[in-house]
Structure 1
Amino acid sequence: MKTIIVNIFVVSAIFAVCESASAACGPNEDVPQCRPCHITCAERNNPCPYNCIFNSECFCKIGYYMKDGVCVPESEC
């Protein structure tokens, strides 16, 4: 029973950290559960290997790419 309570607490803490980190992200950014590649406009056609590593950083949302420190839609690359 203690193990279940501890697991629930740990999962709740992880979600709380992700939610607070997401609030600190810039426009068109979020905190994905798995760490993606940092993709810039210039690198958007390069392959990116998928490795699910726990993440707590902000990344551009899907369909957006980093340009001059801001996440922009592909049409602005």
Structure 2
Amino acid sequence: MKTIIVNIFVVSAIFAVCESASAACGPNETVPQCEPCAVTCADRDNPCPAICIFNSQCYCTIGYLKKDGVCVPTSEC
């Protein structure tokens, strides 16, 4: 029973950290659960490993990539 309570607490803490981090993200940015493969326009054609690397940082939302430090639609890359 202790293990279940501890696991629930840990999961809740992770969600709380992700929520507070996403509030500090810029426009068109969020905190995805896994690090994205393409971060900048220059990265968009690089191969992507099929593993999830836990993430706690802001990245551009799906459909956007960084260009000159700003998240822009991939069509503007």
Do both proteins adopt the same fold according to a TM-score greater than 0.5, normalized to the shorter chain?
yes
Runs of 4+ in structure 1 deviating by more than 4 angstroms, as ranges, are none
1:50 pairs with 2:45: no
Count of residues in correspondence between the two structures: 77
Within-5 A mapping of 1:19-58:
19-58=19-58
1:28 counterpart letter in structure 2 = N
Does the CA-based 8 Å contact 1:34-1:52 persist in structure 2?
yes
- The TM-score, its normalising length taken from structure 1, stands at 0.89
* Deviation at residue 55 of structure 1 after TM alignment: 0.7
Cα deviations across residues 11-51 of structure 1 (Å, max 9, x unaligned)?
00000000001111111111111111242123322222232
- The TM-score, its normalising length taken from structure 2, stands at 0.89
Q: Could you tell me which runs of 5 or more consecutive residues in structure 2 were left unpaired when the two chains were aligned.
A: none
1:3 counterpart letter in structure 2 = T
Q: Could you tell me which runs of 5 or more consecutive residues in structure 1 were left unpaired when the two chains were aligned.
A: none
Q: CA RMSD in A?
A: 1.3
